[in-house]
Amino acid sequence: MSQTTLGDDELFGEAAAEVRADVENHLSKAREELPAAADVWETEADNVLGVLNGLRSALDVGDAEEHLRQAKKWYTMGERADAFEDADDLAAAIEDLEALIDDIEDAHDDVSDLTNAVPELRGALQEFEADDEE
């Protein structure tokens, strides 16, 4: 084997390790952006609308999607270059994180819908009660 080939193999190995580290780093940063379980469970609000607004804020994923996108990009590049000896753990972590972010965003959308609907419902009930009293 020539000197150049040994150097190229070593450089490829280093690059592969760096790509894996980048994927792991972005996955870690994405996880850090996710809300804490306590933040979506505990509340200090005086009424339903306050609870819903607090929950909607707590369900913000921040930059998690962007970090996930970066992780997927580097993972895809590493996979296509056949740079990983074993990347099943990375693929599973990406898939799990993607599903969790989707679930959080779905919940955020549901809470947003309720946040809009509850004041309208309250207003309609107040009108009904006022009409009923007349």
| Six token digits for residue 30 | 């994405």
Percentage helix, strand, coil for the chain under 3-state DSSP, each rounded to 5: 80, 0, 20
Rounded Cα gap, residues 38 and 33, in angstroms: 14
pTM (two decimals)? 0.85
pLDDT digits (tens, 9 = 90+) for 50-95: 999 999 999 999 999 999 999 999 999 999 999 888 899 999 999 9
pLDDT digits (tens, 9 = 90+) for 82-94: 988 889 999 999 9
pLDDT digits (tens, 9 = 90+) for 100-123: 999 999 999 999 999 999 999 999
| Six token digits for residue 115 | 């946040």
Q: Is the pLDDT of residue 5 over 70?
A: no
Q: How does DSSP assign 71-115, residue by residue?
A: HHHHHHHHHHTT--S--HHHHHHHHHHHHHHHHHHHHHHHHHHHH
